[in-house]
Amino acid sequence: MTSTAASPPQPSRTDRLERLGRFLETDPGNLALLRDYAAEAARAGEPDAAIAALRRLPAAPPAGEPGDSRLLAACLRAVGRLDEAQAVLGSALAHWPADEALAIEQAKALFAGREMEAALAALPPQDPAEPLLAGEACSLRLQLLHHLGRLDEAVAVADAYTEAHPEDPRVAASSIPLLMDVYRFDEAVARAQALLEAGIEAYPAYEALAAAALEQGAVQEAAQWTARALQVRRDDGRIWLVEGLARLRAGRFADAREAFDEAVALMPDHAGSHLALGWAWLLEQDLAVADACFERAVAASPAFSESHGSRAVVAALQGRREEANELSRKALKLDAASGSAQYARALLAGADPAGIVKLAETLLGQLRQQRR
């Protein structure tokens, strides 16, 4: 009878970082060791330690190696020191103007500072020859075009790259929110499923799978996907919208309002977020606050029919018939299929307002897909 010895525990990143730190104490002038320590600190989620190590290099970036500058800028970006990151990158690119990895890092720093056009211009004009850089550059280009509202251009870039490199998970992941926003929902869900089946935990997949679960009425499953997403990051208004809808369909109206509050805070120019928050207040029968939310939705997107239709619903519930008629006319002129405007008309004709919960669920499901 044979016995199998247990595998020795693998050192954690923190363990490796501490070991490298001890080596540095005995050999502080070892440049290779400083670089190893900085790289390990960045991987271990200790950007400040990486920055301190890189600053100790005698040939400080950009006079040393381009990789030093790139890592230093990435760590400065991670801790929000964007001006310093840009200064490092500007000097480095003056020394190594053809370094595509530096150009990509500069685009990332500009993106982090919400300078979308500048970030797009900073990317290498053609896909880099290095496959790892090509996928990274294309993924970033997709995200920037998406944020800039250049959806048709972004779709063309995504489709061309995916056809040429179907195995690249970064571009597949980055294309999921884009496909959802151009109403290619089934493709977005298929890509999300394929990534997870391949063992790739891609954050953008969670929204698609949560939305698909909601469409199938699987509220608990949707909540599991949104919870998974919120463990990764909490600064994405899109996932808060889906989370709010899941809470709404579970009958948790006050909790839904809190989720939509987060979406509004993160996406103040997104009319759908204001509308979702307004409907959450409407379901709690606070018509004044709901109408204020709908007014902000109109300000964010005057041509969006449901903003006016939702205001018509409030006016109808408050007995302001003339205003409700005028608002519903405006909404139906913008979109003859406006659900909120039709509901406002039904209320004016004497319909039972008890159907408002079902309307809210349907309407907010559509709002999730509204283009930003």
User: What are the b/e assignments for 257-285, b being 16+ CB within 10 Å?
Assistant: bebbbbbbebbeebbbbbbbbbbbbbbee
Say what the pLDDT of residue 283 is: 87
Mean pLDDT of the chain: 87
296-326 pLDDT tens trace: 999 999 999 999 999 999 999 999 999 999 9
% of the chain surpassing 70 pLDDT: 90
Question: CATH topology for 29-121?
Answer: 1.25.40
| Class of the CATH-defined domain 268-367 | mainly alpha
What lies within 8 Å, CB to CB, of 33 at 6+ separation is: 20, 23, 24, 27
- Contacts (Cβ under 8 Å, ≥6 apart) of 97: none
Higher pLDDT, 61 or 117: 117
- Name the pLDDT band for 4 (thresholds 50, 70, 90): very low
Task: Decide if 159 contacts 193 (C-beta within 8 A).
Answer: no
pLDDT at 27 over 90: no
> What CA–CA distance (Å, rounded) separates 234 from 128?
32
**Residues 243-266, mean pLDDT to the nearest whole number:** 92
* Contact call for residues 240 and 223 (beta carbons, < 8 A): no
- Tell me, yes or no, if the two domains 29-121 and 268-367 fold the same way: yes
Q: At what angle do helices 203-215 and 185-197 cross, to 10 degrees?
A: 120
Cα separation of 340 and 358, whole Å? 11
Query: What residue spans define the domains of the chain?
Result: 29-121, 126-182, 268-367
Mean pLDDT of 69-98: 93
Q: Which two tokens stand for residue 229?
A: 């997403």
All residues at 6 or more sequence positions from 302 whose CB lies less than 8 Å from its CB, including other chains = none
Determine the longest span between alpha carbons in the chain, in angstroms. 89
What secondary structure letter does DSSP report for 235?
A: -
Tell whether the model's pLDDT for residue 224 goes beyond 90.
yes
- Range with the poorest average pLDDT among 41-45, 338-342, 359-363: 359-363
